[in-house]
Structure 1
Amino acid sequence: MKSFITALQFLTRIHVKEQPDLTVEDFGRSTKFFPLVGVLLGLIYMLVTWCLVAVFGWANFVTTILVLLPVLMTGGLLLDGYMDTADGVFSARSRERKLEIMKDSRVGAFGVIALVSLMMMNWSVLRDIKLVLIMTALFVMPVIGRMAMVMVIAFFPYARPEGMGKAFSDMADKKTVALAAITTLVFVVPWGQAAIAALAAGLGFAWLLGAWLTSKLGGLTGDTYGAVETLTETMVLLVFWVTSWIPGGLHILWR
C-alpha cells in the first residue's frame, strides 16, 4: 500500500497522506504500481467524459477539457519531461551538452514547439474518434502509457551516474515488470481487439523510442521516461482513431 500511494502521489495531483520520510528506494519500489495508477486515472477520465458528454454532447469544448484533463491530473510532470527531452535531443549538441540542456529548468524553443504540436495532435485525434470509443480509449490510454514507462525504465540503461530517475531504474527488476504487465493485461485485454492492438502498438512504439533516445543520449533519464509515456498515450489515441474509421472497425472493437 505504501508503494502504491507513493506512485500515486508522485505521478498525480491526488494527495492521500503525508509521506515525509520517503527514500529513493521507496520511489524505486513504487514503479511496479505505475499501471495501477493509470487504471485510477482512466476511471477518472471515463467519469469526467460521461458527465461532460451527458451535459454538453460531443462538443469541441468537451474535447478541449479532455485534452487538458491529464495535464491537470498529473500537474504536467510528464509533459515537463517531454519538453525537456525535446529541447535536449533536438539541440544538435554533444551528448553531454544535451543532458545539460535537459536539466535546465527553462523551456526552450524546441520544447514549446513539441508541446504545441502534441496538444494539436491529441485534440485532432480525440475529436475524430467515434464517440462510442472515447471512454474506452481514455481508460486504456494512461494504463498503456505507464506500462510503457515501466518497460523502458527496466530494459534501457540510465544515462546519468545519479538522478531521481536512477532510483526507478535501479529498482526495476523482473518482478516489477511482471506485476506491471499483469496489471496492464488484466485491465486492457477485456476491452477487446482494438485495445489489445493499442497495447501492442504503444509498447512497440515505446521500445523503438527508447532505443532511439538511448542512441542519442547513451541511455534514458527521468525526462525521457516522461517523454516515452506522453508519446505512447498519443499512439494509443491514434490506434483508436484508425479503428474508428477503417471498415468494420467498431465491430473489431466489440467482437
Structure 2
Amino acid sequence: MKAFLAALMFMTRIPLPQVNISKNQWHKSARYFSLVGLVIGGVLYLASLTLQQFFPATITSFFVVLLWIWITGGLHIDGWMDLTDGFGSNKSREQILEIMKDSRVGAMGVIAAICLIGGKWIAVYELLQHENAIILLLSPIIARFLLINAIRFFPYRNQGGIGEGLRANLSWLAIFLNFLFILALSYYLIGMNGFILLFFTAIFSGLLVVTIFKKLGMLTGDCYGALVEWSESVSLFIALAIWGLM
C-alpha cells in the first residue's frame, strides 16, 4: 500500500496524508504506475461528464486539459520541454544532456509545450463531441504502462540512481500483470478497439523511445516525462482515427 501511495504522491498533486515512505517502498512504486494512471483518468473522465452539464465542449475540453496539467503538477510537461530543447538544439550527445539539465526553458521547449497542450485540447474536444470521453480514462493508464516498460527495458542515466532503483524492482511478473490489467480494462470499456488503441500507441511511443536511445544511449527522468506526455497525446489522436475510420 505504501508503494502505491509513493507512486501517487510522486506522479500527482492529489492531496494525501503525509506518509513516511522508505527508499525500498519508493523503488517498488513503479509497478503501481498504471493504477496511478487509473486514478488520473478517472478524475478526468468524471470531470468531463460533470462539466458537460454546464459548459459547451470547447470550454469543457479546456478545463479538462487544465485539470490534466494540475493533477500531475506539470511534472511530465517539464520533461517534454527539456527533451525538445535538447533535441531541438541539434548538438552532440553531451551538449543535449547539458541542455536538458538546464532549468531554463528555450524557444523549442515553449513551442513544443504549446503544440502539446493545444493538441490535447483539440483532441479532447473532438472526443467529447463524438461522445468518446471514456478515452480520457484509458489514456493516462496506457501512457504509464508504456512508461514502466521503458523503465524496465532501457538503461537509466545514472547507475544506482532513482530510475535504476525503479528498474531493478520491476519484475517480468509485474509487467505482465500490468499488461493483463490494461488489456482487460481496454476490452471491457471499448471492446476490440481497446487492443487497437494500445497496439498503435505502443508503436508510436516505442519509436520515440528508440529515437532517444539511439541519440543518448540511455533514458533520463526528462525522457520518462516526455514519454508520458507523448503517449497520452498519441492515444487521443489514435482513438479519433479509429472512430473516424468506423
Say how many residue pairs are matched.
245
- Confirm or deny that 1:34 pairs with 2:64: no
Q: Is 1:129–1:244's contact at 8 Å kept on the other side of the alignment? A: no
Normalised to the residue count of structure 1, the TM-score between the two structures is 0.90
Q: Per-residue deviation at 1:27?
A: 2.2
What's the counterpart of residue 253 of structure 1?
Answer: none
User: What pairs with 1:195-210 in structure 2 (closer than 5 Å)?
Assistant: 195-210=194-209
Q: Is 1:142–1:233's contact at 8 Å kept on the other side of the alignment? A: yes
CA distance in 1 between counterparts of 2:21 and 2:115 reads 39
What's the counterpart of residue 74 of structure 2?
Answer: 76
CA distance in 2 between counterparts of 1:238 and 1:196 reads 15
Q: Is 1:166–1:221's contact at 8 Å kept on the other side of the alignment? A: no
User: What pairs with 1:88-103 in structure 2 (closer than 5 Å)?
Assistant: 88-103=86-101
- Confirm or deny that 1:223 pairs with 2:222: yes
- Confirm or deny that 1:150 pairs with 2:148: yes
Q: Per-residue deviation at 1:109?
A: 1.4
What's the counterpart of residue 3 of structure 2?
Answer: 3
Gaps of 5+ in 1: 250-255
Q: CA RMSD in A?
A: 1.7
The verdict on how the C-alpha distance between 1:83 and 1:162 changes in structure 2, with shifts beyond 3 A counting, is farther
Q: Once the two structures are superposed, what CA deviation does each residue of 1:46-72 show, in whole Å capped at 9, x if it has no partner?
A: 1101111112242x1111111222101
CA distance in 2 between counterparts of 1:35 and 1:14 reads 16
More divergent stretch after superposition (187-196 vs 149-158): 187-196
Q: Is 1:164–1:222's contact at 8 Å kept on the other side of the alignment? A: no
CA distance in 2 between counterparts of 1:46 and 1:195 reads 16
Q: Which residue, 158, 174, 177 being the options, matches 2:175?
A: 177
Q: Per-residue deviation at 1:162?
A: 5.2
What's the counterpart of residue 44 of structure 2?
Answer: 45
Q: Secondary structure at the match of 2:133?
A: helix
Normalised to the residue count of structure 2, the TM-score between the two structures is 0.93
Q: Per-residue deviation at 1:36?
A: 0.7
More divergent stretch after superposition (170-179 vs 90-99): 170-179
CA distance in 1 between counterparts of 2:49 and 2:33 reads 25
CA distance in 2 between counterparts of 1:178 and 1:166 reads 20
Q: Once the two structures are superposed, what CA deviation does each residue of 1:149-184 show, in whole Å capped at 9, x if it has no partner?
A: 011111112233454333323322313312322222
The verdict on how the C-alpha distance between 1:233 and 1:55 changes in structure 2, with shifts beyond 3 A counting, is same
CA distance in 2 between counterparts of 1:138 and 1:30 reads 23
Q: Per-residue deviation at 1:21?
A: 4.6
CA distance in 2 between counterparts of 1:239 and 1:217 reads 28
Q: Once the two structures are superposed, what CA deviation does each residue of 1:119-161 show, in whole Å capped at 9, x if it has no partner?
A: 1211222222353443211010001010110111111122334
Gaps of 5+ in 2: none
CA distance in 1 between counterparts of 2:92 and 2:19 reads 39
- Percent identity between matched residues is 33
What's the counterpart of residue 252 of structure 1?
Answer: none
Q: Per-residue deviation at 1:234?
A: 0.7
